[in-house]
Chains A and B, each alone.
Chain A
């Protein structure tokens, strides 16, 4: 295999990753630019970060976004996990085709359609647009992503573990919490993180379903970007990237540690 990892393959990977990362790196570099012109280097400075923290509108938007993200990701994870269990475990029930359709379709549905349709629903039932409606909208579109992530873990799950627990007298609900849940936990955690970042990231659906007083960070960034590119936005983006990157790295380290621990347990079990 090593011999076939030719120069062509290495080149395509290097070029591909350069394409993926160069714009982000440039964005971060220019957030430390002294000059107000985003594309002309005027020396190192952190003044845009300072002015960022004095920008009350931006700070408010950040707070709204964080709350929407945490609440919607948590509810979406519960609903998405239930949906994943339904998809993998209950292969025969009325309306299963419709159900799987409703889980998979939002993954590719253009955001403008989802946003518009949810807004019209909220208007039809007389819900005031604001924090609550954005959260509901985010739960709906992120739960499908959670369902897909958890489902892929459930498909490879060894069901004999559950059967063994139930044979030993554990009721189904207890079996779920003591056997199934710990095994699929890594998938649930990454599902939560995915839901959180999708919510953090969303501009289109939030713009449709939000109301006065519930401006999210992407909406704020978008309205400022339309007025022109400023180093302050670069700084805000850099902080957002840093938060996500740290989260992903912590999660992957935790995952790796768990994996190592699991292998050790398995070896110990085999020896014992």
Chain B
């Protein structure tokens, strides 16, 4: 089929000039429209964030002094350079609150990613080894909670984890504990929230790499006397590594900047950078400082995001 089409394609190449011009125009339009959209709404905003992070807080609307204003021409633009200041960044390094928030966020995200992997791996493995007829149903059951609101799913845990909540009621009535456990408004609640909310992001890539695996390899290993755990660490896990990496990045990167989970489940005691940024912006109305917080957060996440893009590009190549 492809050969025939390839052999017959020359006439299409020598199509009439207007058609070719039209095709060239359509091609360009297909690229340009989404390209411009993303440039304007994704890239340019970051430049603005960077710019505002270098400006000073002012009591006005918008609450910052403009820098690098093009309206005064090129000379005004260069004059603006002298007014740039890194006060907001100096401020971030001086106040231990911000440094602690960054470090805590990275640690919480790392631990939650590991926990999600530990919880998600057996589920993905069980799904991949399930009879082929029920696999689509299982897959759909994993995706379905992802369709229901993130906010709702986090909210549902408040009722469970509260001191007088369902978990404590069950544990008390079973006489497993004598005092209600304090889980809500602690880091434990944040871990539970992240593992729960991001579980589908971990299970799906794991499942797709485990499903492709050739299980006769394991049988071969076992025939040759390898114990099941040895076969798992020597064969299954290394082969599922692309899924592990993709899943971990999909959980880790958004978890670092997570706001809803630490805010609703972590209470006021816990410190995470997404919440700090939110408070800086909405409570303190300090736009330049929250921009500086965002710029640093972005810098911290650059390396994992580049890893993620590389993994995506690789997966795309293999799909072809």
Contacts and interface: CB of A to CB of B under 8 A. Distances in A.
Physical interaction between A and B = yes
Contact of A200 (B46, B127, B149, B196): B149
B62 A123 contact: yes
Given A106-B42, A110-B254, A155-B316, A218 B151 contact: yes
B150 A201 contact: yes
Majority-rule SS of A interface residues? helix
B278 A112 contact: yes
B308 A104 contact: yes
A96 to B, nearest CB: 9
A20 B282 CA distance: 32
A61 interface: no
B158 A113 contact: no
A143 B34 CA distance: 9
A201 to B, nearest CB: 5
Contact of A38 (B39, B159, B294): B159
A70 interface: no
A252 to B, nearest CB: 6
A252 B136 CA distance: 11
A112 B160 contact: no
B22 A13 contact: no
A140 B42 contact: yes
B42 to A, nearest CB: 5
Which of B9, B126, B215, B304 counts the most A-chain CB atoms under 10 A from its CB? B126
Contact of A167 (B8, B157, B165): B8
A229 B316 contact: no
Interface stretch (B77-85, B87-95, B256-264): B256-264
A86 B130 CA distance: 37
B157 A108 contact: no
Interface residues of A, number: 93
B153 A24 contact: yes
Contacts of B172: none
B239 interface: no
A199 to B, nearest CB: 11
A109 B256 CA distance: 10
B171 to A, nearest CB: 13
Interface string A3-19: 01110111011001101
B17 interface: no
A270 interface: no
Which of A12, A85, A120 counts the most B-chain CB atoms under 10 A from its CB? A120
B309 to A, nearest CB: 5
B235 interface: no
A181 interface: no
Contact of B149 (A143, A164, A204, A240): A240
Contact of A12 (B34, B123, B141): B123
Contact of A164 (B5, B151, B249): B5
A109 B308 CA distance: 11
Contact of B22 (A4, A163, A171, A241): A171
Nearest to B298: A113
A1 B38 contact: no
B35 A86 contact: yes
A186 to B, nearest CB: 14
Contacts of A16: 119-120, 122-123, 126, 199, 203
Given A10-B126, A112-B257, A229 B155 contact: yes
Given A112-B274, A117-B294, A100 B156 contact: no
B74 interface: no
A272 to B, nearest CB: 18
A5 to B, nearest CB: 5
Interface of A: 1-2, 4-6, 8-10, 12-13, 16-17, 19-21, 23-24, 26-27, 30, 38-39, 79-80, 82-83, 85-87, 90, 93, 95, 98-113, 116-118, 120-121, 123-124, 136-137, 139-140, 143, 147, 151-152, 155-156, 160, 163-164, 166-167, 171-173, 197, 200-201, 203-204, 207-208, 218, 221-222, 225, 229, 233, 237, 240-241, 244-245, 248, 252
Given A23-B196, A204-B278, A244-B149, 11 more contacts: A6-B129, A24-B153, A90-B27, A110-B256, A116-B49, A121-B44, A163-B9, A164-B5, A167-B8, A201-B151, A237-B156
